[in-house]
Structure 1
Amino acid sequence: MAVKPPGNALPRGRIVRVVAAAVVGALAGLVIFELSSIGGRGLYIAAGAVAGMAGVVVIQIYSRSARLTEVKLSLPQVSELTFVVNNESRDVAWKLFVETTTRISTQPLDDDHGLTREALSSLYGLFATVRDTLKASRPSVPAPGGRTVEQLAITMLNKELRPFLSKWHPRLREFEQAHPDDAESDWPDNAACRAELRTVQLRIHDYAMGFGELAGVSDPEAMAGAGR
């Protein structure tokens, strides 16, 4: 991973903040001018209120784009990508890192342990949680030539989780409905499903480490392996 201030993103971010501050200041001056006919104490109260609101707007604009950082990730399935993240996108990445590293999506499932049904249910839960997290978050604005945390998450859903679940969930459900009294180990496709699950887990692990790096975790691999 390489982390450095982006070449074009920061100057552009500064320009946006300066222009926004100038516009807000101009509007505040216009309002104060229009209110100047009030005179006396009323003028000072109005001017103070307008200045306060302008300051809040400027601070909010600055905080949204503050601490922009360029992060390069190398994922085997999507090659090397460049991301530009700020505080808000780091928060999203942290939530996704926690979700992906604490489920069976990245935790090992031996052939003689656990249930395939539980693994599929956990992956379904991960899919729903990631989607809900993205829906509840404000979409990031990508820098020129850069990607966003949301794009990485949606790639994980559509390229990894969705194909696996759409393939194996109907097959397991069909077996369960046709053989309600049989053990899961009697399912003829159980071994093949678990083998493909291990492949998907390795790929999801790469995404999880990417989320950790985007979130600013100093050693995502060590954190993900804590308690094993």
Structure 2
Amino acid sequence: MATGAVVGLAVYAISQTGGRFLFVITGAVAGAAVVIGADLYRRTTRLTEIKITVPQLSELTFVVNNDARHVSWQLFVETVTRVSTQRLNDDEGLLREALTSLYGLFATTRDILKASRPSVPPSSGMTVEYLAVMFLNKELRPFLAKWHPQLSEFEAAMPGSPESAWPQAAECRSELRQVQENTRSYVLAYARLAGVRDAEAMLGRRVSG
């Protein structure tokens, strides 16, 4: 109600104004409209249709603009630089560090999505936000929900013991490798949407095989 009253007063004041001041107000409104229109144009221009195959989701069609490319680039950088895509052999690294890294990736991905403007779903096609949410819910969440409590229970029961003494260590590492391999597909999809070249080279060796 208060906002409506203020707007009403402003409209009335403008209607009672004449001369140069009226031209100033009109120019300001026109300028604001141009800025808003330019921003909308920037967000919707350079639409590109891209077909991407993610084994876990089959083939998907995306229609991306500049904003979607920017979000895809952020997601690519955050994901490609973590242990989530880097091979971890049985005699390398620590599972605790890997799980912590994946938790960090989960939180960062969610923060990127929250901070970005939501894409308007095209009439035919998916958005980068959809891809990222599927990655969180189909890959990271199930793995972390299963193994974080079990590893924490072992650490609490056997403080100071090496992870190799954990009976489920081998199984956890095996499932981690599968998550890493699946994550690789999402990373390459982010790269395609962002227009990144030589993404395979940045990823390095595959995490399985």
Counterpart of 1:26 in structure 2 is none
- In the alignment of these two chains, the number of paired residues is 195
Partner of residue 186 from structure 1, selected from 152, 165, 179: 165
Q: How many Å separate the matches in 2 of 1:54 and 1:178? A: 64
Does the C-alpha gap of structure 1 residues 38 and 179 become closer, same or farther in structure 2, counting only changes over 3 Å? Answer: closer
Q: 1:105 aligns to what SS in structure 2?
A: helix
1:66-117: CA deviation from partner (whole Å, max 9, x where unpaired)? 1111111001111000011111111111111011100000011111110011
RMSD: 2.1
User: Structure 2: how far apart are the matches of 1:107 and 1:184?
Assistant: 19
Separation in 1, partners of 2:14, 2:95:
70
List alignment gaps of at least 5 residues for structure 1. Answer: 1-33
Per the normalisation by structure 1, the TM-score is: 0.80
Alpha-carbon distance, 1:202 to partner: 0.4
The one-letter amino acid paired with 1:177 is: A
| 1:34-60 C-alpha deviation (Å, 9 max, x unpaired) | 968755433433332232122112111
Q: 1:155 & 1:145 partners in 2: Cα distance?
A: 18
Alignment of 1:37-52 (within 5 A): 38-52=17-31
Task: Measure, in 1, the Cα distance between the counterparts of 2:22 and 2:118.
Answer: 40
Distance 1:55 1:112, change over 3 A: same
Residue 223 of structure 1, CA deviation: 2.9
Instruction: Give, in whole Å, the separation in 1 of the partners of 2:72 and 2:115.
Output: 13
Q: Comparing both chains, which one has the higher relative contact order based on Cα–Cα distances under 8 Å and sequence gaps of 6 or more?
A: 2
TM-score, length of structure 2 as denominator length: 0.86
Q: What is the letter of the counterpart of residue 49 of structure 2?
A: E
Identical positions, percent: 61
Q: Paired residue for 2:153?
A: 174
